[in-house]
Structure 1
Amino acid sequence: MTEIHQPAGLAGEAPSRPAPNKPHKGVLIGVGALLVVLTNAVIFILPPLLPVIQAQYGLATVAETTWLYTALTLGGGAGFILLPRLADLYGDRSASVAASAFLAVGALIPAVGDSYPTLLAGCILMGFGGAAQLLPLGFLRRNLGEDGITVGVAVLVIATGVGIVVGMIGGGFIVENLSLRSFFIILAAVCAATTVASYATIPHAPPAERAGRIGVLGTVWMIAWVATILLTLTQGLVWGSAALIPLVVGIVGGIAWVRVERKSSSAVFDVAMMKAPLVTASCLCIALFAAVNSAFMLLLSTYAQISPEVLRPADAYGLGFSALQTGLLMAPFAVAFLVRGTVLDRALFNGRGVPVFVIGALTSAAGLAWLAVAHDQQWHHLVGAAVMGLGCRIGYAASFTLVQLAVPEEKAEMAAGAAGTFMAVGFAFGTALVSGDLSASLVPVPGTGLEVAAKGLYGIGYWLSGVLALLVVVTVLISRARSGRRSGSAAS
């Protein structure tokens, strides 16, 4: 079973750090939720804006617009590694203010520059600041005592679902009512206000890990190999077989990094943490759930916005929805994230993480199987989105909770960063998988010179995503079997 580190305040223990000015619980939770909603909304507001961006900046192909995702993903990969460690070593307020400031500056650059190069630069900074979504796990755990882990994970999971749909709906609203520049001005103002709120409400406590330090070489090395893999996943379709070169470089670099980090006195991620039962499995599972999540969203949003009237009768499919209507179609996904899993949370704290993962994986697989055979009507997507939201909510909650339970309070953000890095890679992989699937066979849009994916590819995409969900079951069962063998060897 997973080694559980009880939060300070249990069983009569003294708090690990002094808290002379205890923050208001509701205010702290509100700021944490704001950080998570804002960062996820920034990411998911882009899909409805892509046609506007392509037209306004005169981009020749859709492939050029994918660099926006690449910029966000690369910035996020660096942020997930660095910002949580800064919180452990230099304080929660400092890291949260820095993350919010990166978001604000990232939005301000395209608002002022109003060009595609400035938008790419802004996306890199906003991606880096997007790691702010992980920071509430640390500062809520450190300030809410015995409820800190449960509340922190609940805030992260629920606000993520809300942020996704806020971004999708907000993007659709902007497409229909505002200019692109006006949007970035508003976003910069909201991020600036979040920076002020973070400074005013998050306690300025002593660093959680006073004796620790950031290993510069290990951190830069990790950012490099993670970025190489993310770059391959986001641009692989454009590069073709040449993408195998950076992919191999990234994988080899990652393997070498792990070997060096095991002997480092200032490791980026604690090796002992990753060796704890179910921790590595939890990180792999969150990557799989993130891949399933991104694949589902890309399949749904693409299908919904294709109009059957513009295609030849033999090729016709789609719902003909606007960007705003597509965002509303995703609402059940977010509503499912609001479901409180009290029974499942109790199972996680009692060391029964494997059954929780299996429930989440099978629920997601059921939703994807449904969509694989039924996705030509609006209500089909509403049902599928609700089931998928519930499965992903269970999976995310289990992953983040078990990783947090494996570490003491002072390394809460290190654990969050490890899980977040796997999540970023998984999200990029799911997007790449579905993009490849939807590019396998194209049909023309008469009179436009454009092409869209053939109808049958959507069912294939959902089945492929279902396989990813079932791999969660395989992962946790293998992890439990290995843990059982190690326990048996130790007993003998």
Structure 2
Amino acid sequence: MTETHERSRGALSGAGTNASRAALIGIGSLLVVLTNAVIFILPPLLPVIQAQYGLATVAETTWLYTALTLGGGAGFILLPRLADLHGDRNANVAAATFLTVGALVPALGDSYPTLLAGCILMGFGGAAQVLPLGFLRRGLGDGGITVAVAVLVIGTGLGIVAGMIGGGLIVQSLSLRSFFVILTAVGAATTLASYLLIPHAPPVVRTGRIGVVGTVWMIAWVAAILLTLTQGLVWGNAALVPLALGVAGGIAWVSVERRSPTAVFDVAMMKAPLVTASCICIALFATVNSAFLLLVSTYAQIIPDALRPADAYGLGLSALDTGWLMVPFAVTFVVGGAIVDRPVNNGRAVPVFVIGAIISAAGLAWLALAHDQQWHYLVGAAIVGLGCSMGFAAGFTLVQLAVPAEKAGMATGVAGTFLAVGFAFGTALVSADLSASLVPVPGTSLEVAAEGLYGTGYWISGVLALLVVVTVLVSRARSGRRAAAIGS
């Protein structure tokens, strides 16, 4: 980090004088755990939701997860920037409020439309998972980045357990509606805690504005393309309409953003060494992560006896039992984030990305070949969790190191946006894959994916993991050529 950045951090290190170090870390951990629990609770609940609301297709069901992640895309851009311009407390209270209202909507409505609306709001508020990167860095001064990334990674691991196991337990013992009532209460308590524990330290100088129009525009064209991916097999040629709109909107968006004074992404930051590559890698790891979760959750909860003998497959597990399969993922997710801090800060991020990608690809290849026994998933989850956590920790750390503390929120927003888009793309990819060939569930109007599509989904996800290797090697080669040109 440059001397200028260090001075900026030092100037802002007094922001946490009204809240103890332990309180800041505690509320940061709570935000990360809660928001990740919301994200990871949905995959094992999708089959339950499909049955309860009578949703006919996998694509219709997984759109709930896509809505959650697209809402997160907007939140990841706007809320961290709000923290930079108007203070950390205001941004975190706003995020927790959106999360609370998002849970309240399906609790009151108890229908698919209200659940879809609630997912969008909860996704937007879910951006609170990355806000601690900003207020911990600003509040803790020297070493704040290391602590903030550790809180993010460890909290994510705990959130996985809380979401996939705790949510399954609540739904199994109570109901979906009861779960959202409980989530509303937890969200309200978190909102109050954010207000009481996070210091209000508005920036000395406010630079720039929040690019709301550019953010909404970006989410719109990305959503149009994802809609084509998820519904293409159902709509046929009609799916080309949102595809064309999405592509045209994306091209126009890029053109306008290059000249906009409130551009969504900071151009100067993106030109820093490995920053753009890090963001792309975050998106690829997120794609792999969400694809893995949905493939596991869907296969594990298919009941073999409910299908015709020729079509039978699945483990017949409950949402709670499916959550237990993810415990190794959570454990290695914490381990992976802890072991990469030193090499990344010592300039060895490229090997970390490569190793993380290869480990993830190995876990997915294992599941492509072996996914019909519970122990297969326990092994695969441990491998994939380790690889993904290494990639996430390296990516978020590098992006933070590229900016001074007063722009920590902006850097968080950029990385978080790529994370959300990656999760949304992984969801749409799996939805398209599992919709390619359907088999009926006798005695119902439901259809499920043919068994062979799961192996295909894991292989595709493994290839995406290996694209991380290509991304960082190309970026390093370009940086080398650029440095050579300057030297000559």
What TM-score comes out, normalization by structure 1 length?
A: 0.92
Alignment partners' CA distance in 2, 1:157 and 1:237: 37
**1:140-166, CA deviations, whole angstroms, 9 ceiling, x for partnerless residues?**
111112221111112112222322332
8 Å contact from structure 1 (residues 208, 409) kept in 2: no
Helix, strand or coil for the counterpart of 1:262? helix
Within a 5 Å distance, the mapping from 1:292-441 to structure 2 comes to 292-339=288-335, 341=337, 344-441=340-437
Within a 5 Å distance, the mapping from 1:13-162 to structure 2 comes to 14-16=10-12, 18-19=14-15, 21=17, 23-57=19-53, 59=55, 63-162=59-158
**1:275-330, CA deviations, whole angstroms, 9 ceiling, x for partnerless residues?**
11111111111111011111111111112112333344443322221111000011
Helix, strand or coil for the counterpart of 1:151? helix
CA RMSD, Structure 1 to Structure 2 (Å):
2.5
Q: Tell me which moved more, 299-308 or 243-252.
A: 243-252
Q: Tell me which moved more, 431-440 or 268-277.
A: 431-440
Alignment partners' CA distance in 2, 1:340 and 1:209: 37
Helix, strand or coil for the counterpart of 1:443? strand
Within a 5 Å distance, the mapping from 1:233-312 to structure 2 comes to 233=229, 235-312=231-308
8 Å contact from structure 1 (residues 442, 454) kept in 2: yes
Q: CA, structure 1 residues 40+242, in 2 after alignment: closer, same or farther (shift >3 Å)? A: farther
Q: CA, structure 1 residues 434+227, in 2 after alignment: closer, same or farther (shift >3 Å)? A: closer
Q: CA, structure 1 residues 38+176, in 2 after alignment: closer, same or farther (shift >3 Å)? A: same
Helix, strand or coil for the counterpart of 2:439? strand
Displacement of 1:441 after TM fit? 2.6
8 Å contact from structure 1 (residues 9, 145) kept in 2: no
Report the residue type matching 1:291 in the other structure: T
Alignment partners' CA distance in 2, 1:310 and 1:80: 41
Alignment partners' CA distance in 2, 1:67 and 1:458: 18
Report the residue type matching 1:112 in the other structure: L
8 Å contact from structure 2 (residues 229, 432) kept in 1: no
Alignment partners' CA distance in 1, 2:339 and 2:167: 36
8 Å contact from structure 1 (residues 75, 125) kept in 2: yes
Q: Tell me which moved more, 462-471 or 436-445.
A: 436-445
Report the residue type matching 1:90 in the other structure: H
Q: Tell me which moved more, 103-112 or 461-470.
A: 103-112
Alignment pair present for 1:169 and 2:165: yes
**1:45-99, CA deviations, whole angstroms, 9 ceiling, x for partnerless residues?**
2334445444554556555444433432332222122111101110110000000
Q: CA, structure 1 residues 304+175, in 2 after alignment: closer, same or farther (shift >3 Å)? A: same
Report the residue type matching 2:24 in the other structure: L
Which residue of 436, 459, 482 corresponds with 2:478? Answer: 482
Q: CA, structure 1 residues 318+447, in 2 after alignment: closer, same or farther (shift >3 Å)? A: same
8 Å contact from structure 1 (residues 283, 418) kept in 2: yes
Displacement of 1:229 after TM fit? 3.8
**1:212-234, CA deviations, whole angstroms, 9 ceiling, x for partnerless residues?**
32245434433433443454455
Alignment partners' CA distance in 1, 2:68 and 2:355: 32
**1:324-380, CA deviations, whole angstroms, 9 ceiling, x for partnerless residues?**
100001111011112165552222112221111001000101111111112222111
Q: CA, structure 1 residues 292+420, in 2 after alignment: closer, same or farther (shift >3 Å)? A: same
Alignment partners' CA distance in 2, 1:143 and 1:57: 45
Alignment partners' CA distance in 1, 2:264 and 2:467: 28
**1:14-70, CA deviations, whole angstroms, 9 ceiling, x for partnerless residues?**
424644725322221121121112112222323344454445545565554444334
| Residue aligning to 1:458 | 454
Query: In the comparison of the two structures, how many residue pairs are matched?
Result: 488
Structure 1 unaligned blocks of 5 or more: none
Within a 5 Å distance, the mapping from 1:191-230 to structure 2 comes to 191-207=187-203, 210-230=206-226
Q: Tell me which moved more, 372-381 or 193-202.
A: 372-381
Report the residue type matching 1:396 in the other structure: F
Q: CA, structure 1 residues 133+239, in 2 after alignment: closer, same or farther (shift >3 Å)? A: farther
**1:156-177, CA deviations, whole angstroms, 9 ceiling, x for partnerless residues?**
1222232233222233213311
Helix, strand or coil for the counterpart of 1:320? coil
Alignment partners' CA distance in 1, 2:52 and 2:362: 41
Helix, strand or coil for the counterpart of 1:207? coil
Alignment partners' CA distance in 2, 1:379 and 1:133: 31
8 Å contact from structure 2 (residues 304, 314) kept in 1: yes
Report the residue type matching 2:409 in the other structure: E
Displacement of 1:5 after TM fit? 7.1
8 Å contact from structure 1 (residues 137, 416) kept in 2: yes
Alignment partners' CA distance in 2, 1:47 and 1:5: 45
8 Å contact from structure 1 (residues 212, 266) kept in 2: yes
Structure 2 unaligned blocks of 5 or more: none
